[in-house]
Structure 1
Amino acid sequence: MQIVETSNEGLKRAFSVTIPAKDIAARIDGEVARLAPQVRMPGFRPGKVPANLVKKMHGPAVHQDVLNAAIREAMDKLVQDHKLRPAMQPAVTLGEGYDQGQDAALTVELEVLPEVTVPALDGLKLEKLVVPVADAEVDEQVAKIASGSKNFVDAKKGKKAENGDQLIIDFTGKLDGVEFEGGSAQDTALELGAERFIPGFEEQLVGVKAGDEKTITVTFPEDYPAENLKGQAATFDIVVKAVKIAGETAIDDDFAKNLGLESLDQLKGLLRGQLEQETAGLTRTQMKRQLLDVLAAGHDFDVPPSMVEAEFSQIWQQLTQEATREEDPAAALKEIEDEKEDYRGIAVRRVRLGLLLSEIGQANGVEVSQQEMQMLLQQAAQQYRPEDRQRFVEYIQSEPLAAAQLRAPLYEDKVVDFLFDKAEVTEREVTRDELQAAIEAEEGAAPAAAKPAKKAAPKKAAKKDEAPAEAAAEAKPAKKAAAPKAEKAEKEAAPKKAPAKKAAKKD
């Protein structure tokens, strides 16, 4: 095998690789000899089929498999002999006109990872913004739970229903005067203003009294799940059996016991813990972005263009998807298009930070354990249907790049935690609003991301101005591996109760 470097510019490399025809032929003969005992052919005893007949029958397939294996080995040798660290998969081209019996002439182009100097971690200083959870916040959460557990009692006779009141009704739905399946129900509880029925249904019942009978007309939304009802005008004959008003919910131990807890103090303790966990997550976000800004400000090195392009493609895809969901998609798309280069700058920053975190982690022995990897694998497999989970596990286990991508976010978090431990951290108590403002300010201060102060669709994606986890794990950075995707189970379209179907509510 002959390997010759043909280009060396910056982070780009090119090579010509020649695999001799005799080596390929020898490997084909070896593979044929291995397969011959397994081949069955009329007129020959099992395992006695001549090698020349086996080659004639399976020659093209064997040649292709052998050639592929030879190319993979050549790439491994090239990387090892030249001590390369490829940024992405090398682009390998087989010379035009190649045929069996000829030398395999390959052209190999790739980009390599830059040499990154691991920074000294002495003197790293970070400020940790801490939000104490006040009793008033806990009480507010308890009140919200109580408001969602309304206890309706009968209203005074003759009371006209208002938003917030509950009706007990019978209804019969009709299309062109004919009842349709799933459009009728008895003794249905309906809270006016809760928007649980299709648009226009609840609004027409404001002002009714117990004993009233009323016919209303509504139009089913165009996106209604039942095909026969989409966009259709329908009437509903309604009998109002009762009007109820929301009673006061006493916030005491009995209230907590109705929720399955022992006491009100236990409920408050659980809610306090949730609030503390939530604010701790925001604090970590603020510290991480502060850390990344410090690292970005102190390091400026070339990054592989292919990694930047792959990272930018992910950012751009998310931006455009969010823009299409805006009220004015055309305006949102134009807005992000006008700042396309700013987002490309974000991609450069993210790749650079990812590579830097990777070097820091490797230099300091940061690792994801086998046990942690198994947990990640099992969690990821739960996203698939039961019958597809084992296939997904086998795919990850057989594809190093896919496994590295799965491992990457945890690896990045572990490197960040390592840096937190090394840093001199000072704490300062702030309010939740001040903490959120600090996070937003750090997003706006990112050196590579001159983002506008107000954005619609782009803003959410632009917030991810961090290190891509793929690069931080030194996996196949930025570019997603093609993991097998299980097909999603089809959902039933027809609702059981047409007007009460939650899906009918417009976003």
Structure 2
Amino acid sequence: MQVTETKAEGLKREIEVVVPASDLAERLQKKLDEAKGQVRLKGFRPGKVPAAHLRKVYGRSMMAEIVNQIINETPRSVISERGEKSAMQPEIGMSEDEGVAEKVLAGESDFRFTVSYETLPNFELKETDSIAIERPVVEISEEEVEEQVKRIADNARTYSPKEGAAEDGDRLTMDFVGKIDGEPFDGGSAENTNLVIGSGQFIPGFEDQLKGAAAGEDKTVTVTFPEDYGAAHLAGKEAVFDVKVKEVAKPDDLAIDDELAKKLGLESVEKLREIVREQIEGQYGAMTRQKVKRQLLDALDAQYDFELPEKLVAAEFNNIWTQVTSELENAKKSFEDEDTTEEKAREEYQRLANRRVRLGLVLSAIGEKVGVEVRDEEMQRALMDQIRRYPGQEQQIYDFFRQNPEAVASLRAPIYEEKVVDHLLSTVSVTDKTVSKEELMKEEEEEVSAA
């Protein structure tokens, strides 16, 4: 096999591979010899099929298998022997002349093809001990814990039937049928539904029109779905609901005590407060982690500037652009609604794609250097998390990941990234800074993940 480099421009490579007809013939003969004792042909005893007849019957199909095997295996081995890594799956180029292909399959011609790819860039890893990061930390007050406990108690509050008109805070039990232009619509009807007046649970204006209603009363409620309503076929449309009020109930006294905790499956109200505090700590901890990670990635991004594989960047940009345009379409918005233009948006997301690819390569190199690994049990947990998101479709989701290596890689990438970030945070200077809840929750212009 002859391998010749025909292009080396930046990260782009093209290699011509020539497999002599003699090599193809040798491989074919080996396959024929292996098949001789296995094939069963009418009129011949096992193992007694003449070689010439075997070649006539199976030669072309076997040669096609050999060619496919060469195409599948050669690029990877050739690139590895050159000490390179391909950024994406190499592209294979072959002659489109049917006559040339026939000669190859007939064993009368050399097999020629090209391998085109982009190499991963070589760059020197920088020291990270000069990176300084401020970790925003929120001190959780007892008042915040009690506020959350009260919300939990509100959700667990009991109600008692009452006579008379519904007021703010009362709970209605009702049946309703919604119509648009006189016709019922999907999701617009329900029976024995509970609604607390003033909860903001339903479409704006719906609850206000039920104030003063009494048990057994029929009401007609007219509302307009918001323009940004999640269901596009309802957004901005006026709907009329025929409501049958079946019960009006007033809220019982709220008591935050051990009895409340026991209703929630806990042994005491102090255990409830402990769990609530842990939940709040977890929420703030996730926000803190995101901001710390953003600072770290910003610092790394400032340290590196190297050529990027064009196709890898293009693939990342396409992923971002597809998501952005899909979100705009679902929200029925345009770039002008976001105070920008498509041209400016493309420039912005192109920079974001460049950043993500660059940081992804840097984190990958750092992880490889320090020996970061994703364990099987971590992948299994990630897979189970995905499966649990689709109740009733567990087997289909499992089969999807089992049959799609790229999908499995999408589970591995964020785990690997977080482990590399953990390592880096142990090597840089991190200083805690107490901030308010509002400061912590303030969104950055762009929270960027490298993967």
The Cα shift of 1:73 comes to 2.9
Aligned residue number for residue 61 of structure 1: 61
Partner SS for 2:432: strand
Aligned residue number for residue 81 of structure 2: 81
The Cα shift of 1:236 comes to 5.0
**Aligned mate of 1:125, from 132, 151, 154:** 132
Q: TM-score, normalised by structure 1?
A: 0.74
Partner SS for 2:330: coil
For 2:130, the aligned partner's letter is G
Aligned residue number for residue 156 of structure 2: 149
1:244, 1:140 → 2: CA distance?
A: 24
Aligned residue number for residue 496 of structure 1: none
For 1:150, the aligned partner's letter is R
The Cα shift of 1:80 comes to 2.5
Partner SS for 1:324: helix
For 2:73, the aligned partner's letter is E
Q: Does 1:115 align with 2:98?
A: no
Q: Does 1:361 align with 2:367?
A: yes
1:64, 1:436 → 2: CA distance?
A: 61
Q: Which has the larger displacement, 22-31 or 267-276? A: 22-31
Structure 1 residues 319, 390: CA separation in 2 closer, same or farther (over 3 Å shift)?
Answer: closer
In the TM superposition, what are the counterparts of 1:298-313 in structure 2 within 5 Å?
Answer: 298-313=303-318
Structure 1 residues 105, 337: CA separation in 2 closer, same or farther (over 3 Å shift)?
Answer: same
Aligned residue number for residue 466 of structure 1: 449
Aligned residue number for residue 104 of structure 1: 111
In the TM superposition, what are the counterparts of 1:223-242 in structure 2 within 5 Å?
Answer: 238=244, 240=245, 242=247
1:236, 1:210 → 2: CA distance?
A: 15
Q: Point out where structure 1 has 5 or more consecutive residues left out of the alignment.
A: 226-230, 444-462, 469-507
Partner SS for 1:77: helix
The Cα shift of 1:315 comes to 1.0
1:119 and 1:360 in contact (8 A); partners too: no
Q: Which has the larger displacement, 423-432 or 402-411? A: 402-411
Aligned residue number for residue 425 of structure 2: 420
1:381 and 1:392 in contact (8 A); partners too: no
In the TM superposition, what are the counterparts of 1:67-466 in structure 2 within 5 Å?
Answer: 67-97=67-97, 98-99=100-101, 100=105, 101=107, 102-155=109-162, 157=163, 159-168=164-173, 189-192=194-197, 205-210=210-215, 212=217, 214=218, 216=220, 238=244, 240=245, 242-329=247-334, 331-332=336-337, 335-380=341-386, 385-388=393-396, 391-392=399-400, 394-395=402-403, 399=405, 403-437=408-442, 440=444, 443=445, 463-466=446-449
2:189, 2:297 → 1: CA distance?
A: 59
Structure 1 residues 265, 93: CA separation in 2 closer, same or farther (over 3 Å shift)?
Answer: same
For 2:78, the aligned partner's letter is L
Partner SS for 2:306: coil
- 1:76-102 per-residue CA deviation (whole Å, 9 max, x = no partner) reads 332123211111111110123232222
Partner SS for 1:119: coil
Partner SS for 1:122: coil
Task: Pick 1 or 2: higher relative contact order, CA cutoff 8 A, min separation 6.
Answer: 1
1:312 and 1:344 in contact (8 A); partners too: yes
Partner SS for 1:467: coil
Structure 1 residues 50, 432: CA separation in 2 closer, same or farther (over 3 Å shift)?
Answer: farther
1:183, 1:378 → 2: CA distance?
A: 34
The Cα shift of 1:429 comes to 1.0
1:82, 1:411 → 2: CA distance?
A: 27
Q: Which has the larger displacement, 185-194 or 100-109? A: 185-194
The Cα shift of 1:337 comes to 4.0
- 1:426-452 per-residue CA deviation (whole Å, 9 max, x = no partner) reads 111111212233x61xx4xxxxxxxxx
Structure 1 residues 60, 168: CA separation in 2 closer, same or farther (over 3 Å shift)?
Answer: same
Query: How many residue pairs end up in the alignment?
Result: 433
2:352, 2:365 → 1: CA distance?
A: 20
The Cα shift of 1:405 comes to 4.0
For 1:395, the aligned partner's letter is Q
2:137 and 2:435 in contact (8 A); partners too: yes
2:222 and 2:239 in contact (8 A); partners too: yes
For 2:39, the aligned partner's letter is V
1:426, 1:224 → 2: CA distance?
A: 42
Q: Point out where structure 2 has 5 or more consecutive residues left out of the alignment.
A: 232-236
2:87, 2:401 → 1: CA distance?
A: 25
Structure 1 residues 137, 335: CA separation in 2 closer, same or farther (over 3 Å shift)?
Answer: farther
2:401 and 2:408 in contact (8 A); partners too: no
1:62, 1:113 → 2: CA distance?
A: 35
Structure 1 residues 115, 247: CA separation in 2 closer, same or farther (over 3 Å shift)?
Answer: same
The Cα shift of 1:4 comes to 0.8
- 1:361-409 per-residue CA deviation (whole Å, 9 max, x = no partner) reads 222222223443444455556567344466446436xx4x665443221
- 1:195-226 per-residue CA deviation (whole Å, 9 max, x = no partner) reads 778999766544333454x36487999x999x
The Cα shift of 1:114 comes to 1.1
2:178 and 2:239 in contact (8 A); partners too: no
Aligned residue number for residue 494 of structure 1: none
1:161 and 1:243 in contact (8 A); partners too: yes
Structure 1 residues 104, 139: CA separation in 2 closer, same or farther (over 3 Å shift)?
Answer: same
Aligned residue number for residue 22 of structure 1: 22
For 2:265, the aligned partner's letter is G
Q: TM-score, normalised by structure 2?
A: 0.82
Structure 1 residues 337, 153: CA separation in 2 closer, same or farther (over 3 Å shift)?
Answer: farther
Percent identity between the two aligned chains: 40
Aligned residue number for residue 39 of structure 1: 39
1:362, 1:116 → 2: CA distance?
A: 14
Structure 1 residues 50, 161: CA separation in 2 closer, same or farther (over 3 Å shift)?
Answer: farther
- 1:40-97 per-residue CA deviation (whole Å, 9 max, x = no partner) reads 4433445554454444444443222210111233213321232111111111101232
- 1:5-52 per-residue CA deviation (whole Å, 9 max, x = no partner) reads 111111111111111122223222322333444434433445554454
- 1:123-159 per-residue CA deviation (whole Å, 9 max, x = no partner) reads 332221111211111111111112222322233x4x2
2:52, 2:143 → 1: CA distance?
A: 86
Structure 1 residues 150, 337: CA separation in 2 closer, same or farther (over 3 Å shift)?
Answer: farther
Structure 1 residues 188, 82: CA separation in 2 closer, same or farther (over 3 Å shift)?
Answer: closer
1:118 and 1:363 in contact (8 A); partners too: no
2:358, 2:230 → 1: CA distance?
A: 47
Structure 1 residues 50, 391: CA separation in 2 closer, same or farther (over 3 Å shift)?
Answer: farther
